[in-house]
Amino acid sequence: MDRKEFSNKVYEIVKDIPFGKVATYGMIAMLSGYPRRSRMVGQALHNSPDSLNIPCHRVVNHQGRLTPGWTDQKQLLSNEGIHLKENECVDLKKYLWDIALIFF
């Protein structure tokens, strides 16, 4: 799969993350069929065209940390009812997308 195909697969997966939920880069990589490409997921999202309206703000790292330098992400998540813990991370136990539901 080339980079463009991979990016398009990532966009389709991220579009499926429900309002008020988050996923990790690793989860998106796993769902794309390339579990070792979590950094490429981040690159694809960073380079996603605005015209596609990809909800990139719903993707965080495996600890629930937000994207460094993206000041709007916190507000976008807050607008969806996702509140951060004191350490400024998303509470993954509360807000993580239950991907098992998409397989049934």
Asked if 42 and 25 count as a contact pair (C-beta separation under 8 A), the reply is yes
* 56 annotated active-site: yes
Q: Which one of 17, 22, 23, 56 is the catalytic residue?
A: 56
- CB under 8 Å to 73, separation ≥6 — which residues? 57, 66, 67
- Strand-strand pairing, 59-60 and 23-24: parallel
Residue 29: C-alpha distances to residues 10, 23, 41, 75 (Å):
8, 10, 6, 25
Catalytic residue numbers read 56
